[in-house]
Amino acid sequence: MAVKKKSFEESMKRLEEIVAQLEKGESGLDQSLKLFEEGTALAGSCAQMLDQAEQKVQLLLGGQEEVPFQEGAQTDGV
């Protein structure tokens, strides 16, 4: 059976659970190391998903010129 890849949101939720568990300090050394290992793998996976999303956005924007946001600036037609 194929392993289902977790979504970004699922991975972040699990990562938050791991952090909370480790912050409690109630796990033994072996369990803490397993949690830490899982957490670092999830963090890497999330970073990779964010990089892929950023690349996709850049690809979709193509050659569009980036215009920096200026707070309070007037926009045409609004």
**Mean pLDDT to the nearest integer, 61-67:** 71
Q: What is the mean pLDDT of the chain?
A: 87
57, 58, 61, 64: CA torsion to nearest 10: 150
Global pTM exceeds 0.85:
no
**Mean pLDDT to the nearest integer, 25-41:** 97
Question: Which amino acid, 49?
Answer: M
The lowest-confidence range among 11-15, 22-26, 69-73 is 69-73
Torsion sign, CA atoms 61, 58, 68, 65: negative
